[in-house]
Structure 1
C-alpha cells in the first residue's frame, strides 16, 4: 500500500480503545500487561498490511507500558523495533519522492514526513542505547549508537553523526578489542572527512598506524594488512591535501625509502606504486593522472577515500 494514501480508519478505533482501557482503570500490572499484548498484536497486524508508521506508534506505546512495568530491556527492544519501522516508512517516502510528480503540496508533505520519521527513529534509538548501556548491555548499546550515527550520516547531519560515532568509540575502547575499535574509528573518520576536518583526520590516521604497528599481535593478520593499507592511502591523500614544504615529497612521505616500504605482499607493493604515482600527479597538477590513480585503486577505496580524491581533484582546478 502506498504510504502517502494509507487509510488509518481501521487502525485508530483499535488504537484508541487500548488507550481508553488504560485510562478507565487503575494502572495495575495485569492491566498494563494486557495493553502490551494488545499493542503488539495490533503492531503485527499493521506490519502485515505494510502500514509501517502506525505499527511504529504501537511499538512506542507498548514501550511506554513496559517502562511502567519496570521492564527496561523489553522496553528498549520495542524502541528499536519502532525506530526500524519509522526508518522503513522513511525509505518508502523517499522511494515515492523519486517518482515524477508535480504536486508541490504533496512534495512538501512527503519531505516533512520523511525527515520527521528520521527524527523519531533517532530519538527512539538514543533512548534504547541509554537503557542498554545503563544495564551493561554494552554490545547492544554500541550497535544501536552506530546505527543511529549512520541514520544521521545518511541525513547529511555529519556533526551529530560524529558525536554518536565518538560515543560508540568510547564504549569500544572500554569494552572491546582493537579490531572492534577500528571498525568504529572508520565511522568517526568518515564524518570528519565530510566536515573537511583534515588536520584532525591526519593526526588520527598517523596515530592509528603507529598503534597498529605496536599492537600487531592484537589484530588478525588479514585484518591488520587490510586496515594498514586503507589508512596508508588516507595518510598520503591527507598529506597532499594539507600540503608540506618539501623539495622531495616522495622522501617526505616515505622517509625510509619507497623500496623498503614496498616490502610485503604483491597487492601492497602495487598500492604503494600507485600512491607514488598519485604524489607525482598532484605535483604536476594533472587531474587526468589523479583520476587514473583513483581508477586503479578503485577496488580498495572506500567512500572516505573517494571524498579525499575529490578534494585532490578540486585543488587542481
Structure 2
C-alpha cells in the first residue's frame, strides 16, 4: 500500500509541476522525462497498466512540445503496456470488461494517426499489423480484420507487404467462417500478384509472387468446393478458375507453371471428385494432398469432405 501511495504521489508531483502558473512557464520537457522514468519503474514492477497511464501522460507532454515522433513512440509504449496487461488477465482467466484492451486499441489508433500525419506511413502500417496480430492472438479474428485491411491500404506502394497483409485478412475471414469474403480477398490477391509481380522481360510472375499465386489458387479452389455455388450464382472470375480444371493440361497453362504439374493434377482430381460427389475418391486424394497443403488448406479440405459426406443443404 505504501509503495502504491509513493507511485501515486510521484505521478501527482509531476502533474502539479506541469500546471500553468502566473508568470511561470512549466518545464514540459522535464515532465516528459519524469513520466518516462516512472513508466520504466512501473514496468520493472510488473504493473503494465499503470506504466501505460504514465506513457499516455508522456505522450501529452510530447504533443505540447510538437514532437510528433516522440508522441507516437509514447503512445505506442502505452498501447503495448495496456495490451500486456490484457494478455496477463487473459492468461489467468481474470473476468473483466476488457478495459485494458480498449485502452490499447485507442492508443494504437492514435499512434497510427500521428505517424500518418507525419508522413511515416511504414511505421503506421507496422502498428496496424501489430494490433491486428495482437487481436488475432486474443482469438478476435473478426476485430483484427479491419486493422489488417488498414495495413494493406497503407502499404499499397509495397506489393509484397500489401499481399502479406491481405493474406492474413483472408485467414481471419476463414476463421470467422466468412468463406465468400475470403474467396473475394484471395481473388484480389491473385490479381494483384499477377499485375505487380511480373518480370519486366516476360511479364509473368516470378519469385515470391509465384508462391503467393499458388497459395491463392489452392485455397480458392478448396473454398469453391466448400461453397459449391450454383451456375446461376457463381461469379465470372470464379467460374473461370473452375474452368481451368475442366480441361486437359497444356504447356501454355500458366496455373500449371506456378502450381507444378503434380499438384495441379491432384487439384483437378479434387474438383472432379467434388462435382461427382465421390467422397471415397476425395478421401483417397486427401492422403496425397496432405503434405502439399498448409494447415489452413488441409482444414478446408477436411470441411469439404465433411460437407459432401453430410450435406447441410443446397449449394450457395
TM-score relative to the length of structure 1: 0.77
Counterpart check, 1:154 vs 2:137: yes
How many residue pairs are counted as aligned between the two chains? 291
Aligned to 1:180: 161
Which of 263, 272, 276 in structure 1 is aligned with 2:264? Answer: 272
Is 2:199 aligned against 1:217? yes
**Residues 111-144 of structure 1: CA deviation (Å, up to 9, x unaligned):** 316x222211111000000111111111011111
Say whether residues 1:292 and 2:283 are aligned partners. no
Whether the aligned pair in 2 keeps the contact of 1:281 and 1:290 (CA below 8 Å) is: no
Q: Following the alignment from structure 1 to structure 2, what is the Cα–Cα distance between the partners of residues 27 and 131?
A: 32
- Report the more deviating stretch, 163-172 or 210-219: 210-219
Give me the whole-angstrom Cα distance separating, in 2, the residues matched to 1:310 and 1:14: 59
- 1:25 & 1:118 partners in 2: Cα distance? 36
Counterparts of 1:21-170 in structure 2, within 5 Å, are: 21-23=17-19, 25=21, 30-97=26-93, 110-112=94-96, 115-170=98-153
Q: RMSD of the TM alignment (CA)?
A: 3.3
The alpha carbon displacement at 1:227 in A equals 0.3
Deviation at 1:35, TM superposition (A): 1.2
- Does residue 252 of structure 1 match 2:252? no
Segment drifting more, 153-162 vs 31-40: 153-162
Task: Show CA shifts across 1:219-262 (max 9, x none).
Answer: 9832022101110111111210221558xx99734245346457
The aligned counterpart of 1:194 is 175
The Cα offsets for residues 66-123 of structure 1, whole Å up to 9 and x where unpaired, read as: 12222222111101011112222222223333xxxxxxxxxxxx2316x222211111
1:36-88 Cα deviation digits (max 9, x unpaired): 11111111122222222221111111111112222222111101011112222
Q: CA, structure 1 residues 10+284, in 2 after alignment: closer, same or farther (shift >3 Å)?
A: farther
Tell me, which stretches of 5 or more residues in structure 1 are unaligned? 98-109
Change (3 A) 1:26 1:134: farther
Query: In the aligned structure 2, how far is the partner of 1:306 from the partner of 1:10?
Result: 56
Q: Secondary structure at the match of 1:8?
A: helix
TM-score normalised over the length of structure 2: 0.78
Structure 2: 5+ residue stretches without partners: 232-239, 311-316
| 3-state secondary structure, aligned to 2:66 | coil
For each residue in 1:146-188, what CA deviation from the matched residue of structure 2 results, as whole angstroms up to 9, or x when unmatched? 2222233334444432222222222222xx2222221121122
**Cα drift, residue 24 of structure 1:** 7.0
Which is richer in helix? Answer: 1
